[in-house]
Amino acid sequence: MSLTIPKHKNLRTQEHKNVVVRFAPSPTGYLHIGGLRTALYNYLFAKHNKGKFLLRIEDTDRTRYVEGAVEKLVETLKWCGLECDENPVIQSERLDIYKEHVEQLLKNDHAYRCFCTPERLDEMRKTQSAKKQPLKYDSHCKNISKEESEKLSKEKSFTVRMKIPPEEIIFNDIIRDEVKFHGSLIDDQIILKSDGYPTYHLANVVDDHLMGITHVIRGEEWLSSTPKHIILYRYFGWEPPKFAHLPLLLNPDKSKLSKRQGDVAVEDYREKGYLPSALLNYIALLGWSTEDSQQIFESNELIEKFTLERCGKSASIFDTQKLLWMNGEYLRKMPIDELTDRAIPFINKAGLKADIEFLKKCISLEQEKIKLLSDVPKRIDFFLKNDIIYDDKAVAKVLRKDGVEKILTDISKVYEKIGNFTADNIEAETRKYAEANGLKTSKIFHPVRITVSGRTEGPSLFHMIELLGKEKTITRIKNVINKLIC
Ligand code: GLU
């Protein structure tokens, strides 16, 4: 016999109506990049189909409880703009509901109490291992009579296991098409732990049903849980939702995306100065694409274009270099007012202060080159600080060269005389001086740049000098002559 869900022939092209989806993370203290992709696809699918996007906190594993994790998660999702349509459902607040459902399964003989001690289970596994048998619960408590089980439950600690029928379970996945598992290879899953908390499988199915979830969109690592869920749906007499399992995310070396190989916490990307829009744009492309392989999406365009039907089956590589490039693209296009607003927390953190209008001018000179918001302070600090730090190599190689002292002395006099200290006038006078003295412009531009900014590269030289102002420019030139060259 096999347990088969009726086939939706054109699952990939059908219209999705009254969509209700959920993101159901277990709070670990941070939002994993893979979790963000799941949340995003659920969100986009809901919004594209004018449905609802809900949040459920799956916190029934008390051994993994992390203080403040839920608040942090909600905050990070909000920062990403993935706000849910209703208050989050918190599983640890719903224990009675799960217990009722476990009772129902016990009553209908779809589940049984297991009184095996951890030691016995350990022994069992060791023996199976030694005999090279599959590690599987040996059904030791399956045939205890109901009366005996009731009686023992008053005396002993127990778990509850669901019965897995030894039959083929077939279901259709929107992304993976037909998927088959055989019940004989699946353990009788624990659905209620001895501490009275349900396990993932039970709570997940009960809540998906009670929350009216129409589509379960989650990572491929949950694919092997799905047959167990389908059995539970059948035991409860409920119609299962449609499933879509998203392919894995990998590191560039094709290993599973994990903390060991760099940052996987969305919070780390936020701290480094990635924009939520760029992060979402990049993440959206890890498993989904448009027909024309569009890379950059305007706001709302992802919602308009996203379909599960265009999600692929193969794993995607999480490439931080491409993400960095994309962030730069977004930063370059951002209106300067917004860019400045977003950069201010990073500027403050670096201990820098300035008037906002001045900041805007500094940032706009560097906008082309900024790839991360956290780059901003180090790119503009020479505008804001009085004491700038000179690179030793540049001082030795450029400023201490013969003739440079004279050039700088002359240039400071030239600049002194400029009435209207604009980039155009500064450039014209600098070039005039070069010509009059038979000097290549680079012989002047390079030392002047280092003198006024402390660095060898940066924004357009004359715009930079204009923004710095006459007084500061001349003071810097004089300081360099007096303190660094002599
Ligand atoms: N709590 C699971 C997780 O952490 C949810 C999996 C599912 O969506 O069913 O990803």
The rounded Å distance from CA 58 to ligand 1 centre is 7
Taking the CA of residue 413 as centre, how many other CA atoms within 13 Å lie in the half-sphere pointing to its CB? 6
Q: State residue 396's pLDDT score.
A: 87
> Smallest Cα–Cα separation from 36: which of 230, 219, 176?
219
Taking the CA of residue 67 as centre, how many other CA atoms within 13 Å lie in the half-sphere pointing to its CB? 0
Does 390 sit in the ligand 1 pocket, CB within 6 Å? no
* pLDDT, tens digit, 9 for 90 and up, residues 320-349: 999 999 999 999 999 999 999 999 999 999
The answer to whether residue 259 is catalytic is yes
Phi-psi region of 50 (alpha: psi -120 to 50; beta: other; left: phi over 0): left
Catalytic residue among 107, 259, 378, 413: 259
Please report, for the chain, the start and end positions of each structural domain, with discontinuous segments joined by +: 2-249, 334-384, 392-485
Q: What is the CATH number of domain 2-249?
A: 3.40.50.620
pLDDT at 391 over 60: yes
Label the pairing between strands 190-192 and 177-182. Answer: unpaired
Q: What is the CATH number of domain 392-485?
A: 1.10.10.350
Gap between the Cα atoms of 416 and 420, Å rounded: 11
The model's pTM is 0.91
Determine contact, residues 338/310, Cβ cutoff 8 Å.
Answer: no
* pLDDT, tens digit, 9 for 90 and up, residues 84-128: 999 999 999 999 999 999 999 999 999 999 999 999 999 999 999
pLDDT at 252 over 90: no
3-state DSSP assignment of residue 382: helix
CATH match of 334-384 with 3.40.630.190: no
pLDDT at 5 over 70: no
Q: State residue 9's pLDDT score.
A: 45
Q: Which atom of ligand 1 is nearest to the CA of 35?
A: 10
The stretch 179-191 carries a mean pLDDT of 95
pLDDT at 260 over 80: no
Q: State residue 10's pLDDT score.
A: 47
* pLDDT, tens digit, 9 for 90 and up, residues 131-168: 998 889 999 999 999 999 999 999 999 999 999 999 99
3-state DSSP assignment of residue 55: strand
Residue in 222, 228, 230, 233 to alter for ligand 1 test, most ligand atoms within 8 A of Cβ? 222
* pLDDT, tens digit, 9 for 90 and up, residues 343-361: 999 999 999 999 999 999 9
